[in-house]
Amino acid sequence: MYYSKSYTPDELYHFGIKGMKWGVRRYENPDGTLTEAGKKRYRDDVGSDTKKALKNAIYGHRKYEEASYKKYLKREQQLRKKYGHPGEDSVQALEDFYRTDRSKKYDKERSKAFNKYENEEAWRKDLQNENKNWQTVKNDKALRSLMSDAKKTINKISDLEEQYVGKNSKAYKDALKKYKEKHNSSKDAELDFDQKVWYASRDYEKEYAKFKKASEKLNEKRSGQVREILRKGLGKKTYNSLNDGQLERGEDYVSYRIQKYF
């Protein structure tokens, strides 16, 4: 409401928008509290469904998935023993293994075991629950700005990782070149240069150490951003009750989901 400096007592000037009604407010009640429309427009707190979804992720609703994965790992160990897989500690041993027919049989049976694990009903049920929970968290307007900021930081970390140890990095290409030269540039050399050979190489370890150092500050920033999402999403009381393991699990869950699905 606005009164002109040169007003006369019987003149009143009012500015508003078309359709407004005198004394009627869309977002506030007469006592100043918010209407339902106002709560929806201005709300700063997350919904109860979001809090429940985050709790499910942190307190371990994935117990069936974890049990299935343990069975897969047990089967993988049996296959390693059966086909003489050397583990990932020695690059030379891995190179030798991946140039044998045994490695092809091992990979085939391991893939079969992994597919069985992925298709177990209990695992699929857990995954469906996790996806459903994430949709609830992702769609909560009170968290979207925080998640958007965290996504930018996570992307910067991913870019650094690609720069130092990704398949397009100079270190990876140099290691592959050495491998191909060592094996007389055979056509199968690149196929034999399995990721596990790369992960076990000295080149990888050296470059990964550089990546960890370069991304240190970014990881600290990401951790702070994700924990703020958890703090706001769970509520202060629940957040403060988390032990270190639960907090780490919540941070991993939110970071991974933001990276892959936000």
Q: Is residue 7 part of a domain?
A: no
In a 13 Å sphere around the CA of 47, the CA atoms on its Cβ side amount to 14
User: Is the pLDDT at 58 greater than 90, yes or no?
Assistant: no
* pLDDT, average across residues 21-35: 66
* Total domain count, the chain: 1
Q: Is residue 34 part of a domain?
A: no
- Model confidence at 1, pLDDT cuts 50, 70, 90, reads very low
Angstrom CA distances, 107 to 71, 87, 120, 176, stand at: 17, 13, 20, 21
For residues 143 and 205, the answer to whether their CB atoms sit within 8 Å is no
Q: Which of 33-37, 38-42, 80-84, 184-188 has the highest mean pLDDT?
A: 80-84
Question: pLDDT tens for residues 200-210?
Answer: 888 999 999 99
Q: Is residue 14 part of a domain?
A: no
User: Which residues, 6 or more positions from 2, have their beta carbon under 8 angstroms from its beta carbon?
Assistant: 13, 14, 15
17 phi and psi angles, rounded to 5 deg: -120, 160
Q: Is residue 152 part of a domain?
A: yes
Q: Is residue 94 part of a domain?
A: yes
Question: pLDDT tens for residues 136-193?
Answer: 888 888 898 899 999 999 999 999 999 999 999 999 999 999 888 888 766 677 778 8
Predicted local confidence at residue 12, as pLDDT: 57
Q: Is residue 43 part of a domain?
A: no
Q: Is residue 241 part of a domain?
A: yes
Which of 84-93, 120-129, 239-248 shows the lowest per-residue confidence on average (mean pLDDT)? 120-129
> What's the pTM value of the predicted model, to 2 decimals?
0.71
For residues 206 and 214, the answer to whether their CB atoms sit within 8 Å is no
Domain that holds residue 110: 48-261
Predicted local confidence at residue 110, as pLDDT: 93
Predicted local confidence at residue 196, as pLDDT: 84
206 phi and psi angles, rounded to 5 deg: -65, -45
* pLDDT, average across residues 36-55: 72
Q: Is residue 253 part of a domain?
A: yes
* Structure tokens belonging to residue 47: 């919904």
What whole-number distance in Å separates Cα of residue 164 and Cα of residue 170?
8
User: Is the pLDDT at 63 greater than 70, yes or no?
Assistant: no
Q: What is the mean pLDDT of the chain?
A: 83
* Structure tokens belonging to residue 8: 């006369």
User: Is the pLDDT at 8 greater than 60, yes or no?
Assistant: no
